[in-house]
Structure 1
Amino acid sequence: METSIEGVAEDAGGGAQPAQPPVAAGPAAVADRAGVVAAPEAAPVPMATPPDAPVPVAVPPASLSPSRAGDFMQCPLLYRFRVIDRLPEKPSEAATRGTLVHAVLERLFDAPAAERTAPRAKALIPGQWDRLKETRPEVGELFADDPDGERLARWLTDAERLVERWFTLEDPSRLEPAERELFVEAELDSGLRLRGIIDRVDVAPTGEVRIVDYKTGKAPRPEYAEGALFQMKFYALVVWRLKKVVPRRLQLVYLGSGDVLTYDPVVADLERVERKLLALWDAIRLATETGDWRPRPTKLCGWCDHQAHCPEFGGTPPPYPLPVRPAGSG
C-alpha cells in the first residue's frame, strides 16, 4: 500500500553479519572509512524475467533504500547485479515465507480489535499464499518438485509458528496502527533521494511516533545490534526530514527467536546516519561512473544467485551497460 506520511504527521501533531572490510581499495572503501555499517537483509522476492521479455534499459541509480544500501555494504558487485544489471533471481523459501507472514500481519489489522486473534491470523495464511502466487507466479516454482505437498505443508506450518509467536510479543487487540506498509520518500539537501517501506507506524495519543519492523529471522547477537538498527534509523531519518518529527521509538520484532529490539533515537543519531548515507552514496556514484564494482567475498556468497557472473567463482560479469568515465578525468 503506497500512502503518504501526511497521515502520520496529522495524528502525531507535528542474524545479520557485520560488514566485512574491502578486499581492495575502491569505491566501497570510501563508505567503509565513513563508518557505514549496514546489516545485509534477506533479498526481496523478485519477479521472474520471462525468456522473451525485453531487456530493461540500464540507468544510473537515482535513489537509495535500506536494502540496497545493505547490498552495497555486503558486496558492491551484488549491488551492481541487482540495481544496474537487474539480473533475475530465483525466489527463496525464507524470503517468500517472510513476504507471506508480513502480508498476514498487515491484513489482520483489517479486523476489529477483538477479532485479532492467533487463530484468525493463521486462517489468513492460505488465502494470502494464494494471493502471493497470483501476483508473483514465480514463487509457485518453489514447490514444483513437491508432488505430495509435504514440503509445502511444513513450510506453511513454519509460517504459522512465526505468526503465533507474534502474539507472545505484541497484542494486536491493543494496537491501532496509523499506517501499514507505508511508502516513504524524502530528498535530502544534497539531492540524495531516500525511500523505503515501513511495516507499521504507531502514533500514541500524545503524538509520539513508533516505527515497527517485523523480522522472520532470529535476533542478532548484541555486537551486531547496531547493524540491525541501520534500517530503522534510515526510516527515522526519512520521517524526520519529511515532517520534522523524530520518532520516539524504533522497534524490531524478531519472530524467529521471539525477541524485540528497541532503540530511542535523537537528532544527533539521525544526523550521523545522514552523513554516513551521503558517504555511501558518494561511493556508489564513484563506482557507477568508473564501472569499478568489486566483489567482497564473505560466507554470504553461498546464498548468492549470481556466482556464475562473479569473478570470485570464476564467472564473468555481463558487459557494463553504462558509460564509464575515462581514467584520470577526475
Structure 2
Amino acid sequence: MQQGRATAPGSAGQGAFVQESFGGTPRRLFRASPSRLLAWVDCPRRYRMQYLDRPTPPPRAQRAHTSVGTAVHNALRDWWDLAPAQRTPDAGAELVRTSWIDAGFRDAEQSLAWRERAQGQVRSYLADVHPGDQPLGIERTVSLKTEEMALQGRIDRLDDRGSELTVVDYKTSRWEPTDDDARTSLPLALYAAAAWKMFRRRCVRVELHHLPSGAVATHEHTGESLARKIAEAESIARDARRAEDDYAEHGVDSGRFPTSVGPLCQWCDFRAHCPAGQAFGPEKSGWAALEDPAPRVRSST
C-alpha cells in the first residue's frame, strides 16, 4: 500500500469502474456549473426559464453593478497579459477605463463616477500584487466529474503557492465578505476540488478578494470538507435532474418548478415573465445595487 499520497476529492468510485469494465449503459452525467446549481437552489422557476425553456424568455437589460463587476474582472484578467515591467497599478486603472461597460446606470454622470471609483479600487488592489508572481491560471476553466455530474466552471485566479494551489475569487459588491462566506461558498469549494484533481496538487485554500475594501476573506478546506461540498453539489444535481426529466415529459406544465418568492424577485432578470415574482414588490432599478446593497446570495463565481 502506498503511503502519503493525496487523493483528490471526486475520484471515480469502485462502482463506476465495475460498470465500465463489465459493460452496461452508463448513466448520463448531469452537466452543470456552480452558477447553474445555485440557480436551482435560489428559484426553480427562474432555473426553468433560464436553462430549459425554448425559446429562452428575454432577460431584463444588464444592471449597473454587473457592468462594474465585469469591467473590473476584465481589467484584472488583462493586466496579467501585459509584460511584467508594464504591470503597474496605473496600468490596471487604465484597463478599467478601456474596458468600461456603460450599461444599466441612471445617467452618464453616474457611470463616470463609478468608472473612476472602480479605477481607484483596482489601482489600490494592484499596489499590493507583485507583478512577477504569475498565477497558474487566469479565468481558468476547470472541470470535475463524479458518478452524478460533470461540472465545469471558471476560476478568477488560480495561484501557485509553493507545494499547493489557492483559488482566488474577486468580489466587487458593497457587501464585504467574511471568512464564513469563504468557508460556506459552494463554488469556491468545487473549484478547489476540480483544481486539485486536474493538476494533481493539493488545493484547499480559497480566498475572496474584495476590491472596494481591500479585505481578503479566507478558508482552509480539508479533503473531507471538499468531499462534503461535492456531495452537496451532487444532491442539488439529483434534484435538478429529476425536475428536468419531468420537464422533458410535461414541458411548462411540469409542477417541479415552483417560484421561490422573496426579496430576490425584485432583482430577478426574468421577473417580467413571472407573475408570482412581480407580486412580491416593485422591481429594483438598474442601478439600485450601487445605492442600496442587493440581498446577500450565495456566490456563483
TM-score (norm 1): 0.66
Q: Is the 8 A contact 1:109 1:172 kept in 2?
A: no
Match in the other structure for 2:121: 162
Cα pair distance change 1:312/1:224, threshold 3 Å:
farther
Q: Is the 8 A contact 2:157 2:167 kept in 1?
A: yes
- Output the CA distance in 1 between the equivalents of 2:240 and 2:225: 23
Counterpart of 2:104 (choices 136, 142, 145) is 142
Shift of 1:188: 1.4
Q: Partner letter of residue 106 of structure 1?
A: R
Counterpart of 1:123 (choices 86, 94, 110) is 94
Please tell me whether residue 303 in structure 1 is matched to residue 267 in structure 2: yes
Cα pair distance change 1:225/1:299, threshold 3 Å:
farther
- Output the CA distance in 2 between the equivalents of 1:223 and 1:232: 12
Match in the other structure for 1:52: none
Match in the other structure for 2:297: none
Cα pair distance change 1:67/1:172, threshold 3 Å:
farther
Cα pair distance change 1:152/1:289, threshold 3 Å:
same
Q: Partner letter of residue 207 of structure 2?
A: Q
Cα pair distance change 1:172/1:82, threshold 3 Å:
farther
Q: Is the 8 A contact 1:211 1:250 kept in 2?
A: yes
Match in the other structure for 1:153: 112
| 1:113-168 residue CA offsets vs partner (Å, 9 max, x unmatched) | 34322211111223223xxxxxxxxx65536x74xx32321131132133123236
- Output the CA distance in 1 between the equivalents of 2:48 and 2:29: 10
- Output the CA distance in 2 between the equivalents of 1:224 and 1:107: 27
| 1:243-272 residue CA offsets vs partner (Å, 9 max, x unmatched) | 443314211101133210111221101110
Cα pair distance change 1:119/1:277, threshold 3 Å:
same
Q: Partner letter of residue 117 of structure 2?
A: D
Q: Is the 8 A contact 1:201 1:212 kept in 2?
A: yes
Match in the other structure for 1:284: 240
Please tell me whether residue 185 in structure 1 is matched to residue 147 in structure 2: no
Counterpart of 1:76 (choices 44, 57, 66) is 44
Shift of 1:62: 4.5
Match in the other structure for 1:194: 151
- Which blocks of at least 5 consecutive residues in structure 2 are unaligned? 1-7, 9-27, 247-253, 280-301
- Output the CA distance in 1 between the equivalents of 2:44 and 2:137: 33
- Output the CA distance in 2 between the equivalents of 1:181 and 1:222: 22
Shift of 1:212: 0.9
Please tell me whether residue 63 in structure 1 is matched to residue 31 in structure 2: yes
Counterpart of 2:209 (choices 229, 253, 257) is 253
Shift of 1:314: 6.0
Cα pair distance change 1:187/1:225, threshold 3 Å:
closer
Match in the other structure for 1:109: 80
Q: Partner letter of residue 255 of structure 1?
A: L
Q: Is the 8 A contact 1:237 1:273 kept in 2?
A: no
SS state of the match for residue 126, structure 1? helix
Q: Partner letter of residue 87 of structure 1?
A: P
Q: Is the 8 A contact 1:212 1:252 kept in 2?
A: yes
- Output the CA distance in 2 between the equivalents of 1:172 and 1:216: 21
How big is the alpha-carbon RMSD for the aligned residues of Structure 1 and Structure 2? 2.6
SS state of the match for residue 202, structure 2? coil
- Output the CA distance in 2 between the equivalents of 1:210 and 1:184: 13
Identity percentage of aligned residues: 28
- Output the CA distance in 2 between the equivalents of 1:79 and 1:108: 34
- Output the CA distance in 1 between the equivalents of 2:144 and 2:182: 26
Q: Is the 8 A contact 1:202 1:210 kept in 2?
A: yes
Match in the other structure for 2:134: 176
Q: Is the 8 A contact 1:198 1:212 kept in 2?
A: yes
- Output the CA distance in 2 between the equivalents of 1:108 and 1:160: 13
- Output the CA distance in 2 between the equivalents of 1:124 and 1:107: 7
Shift of 1:209: 0.9
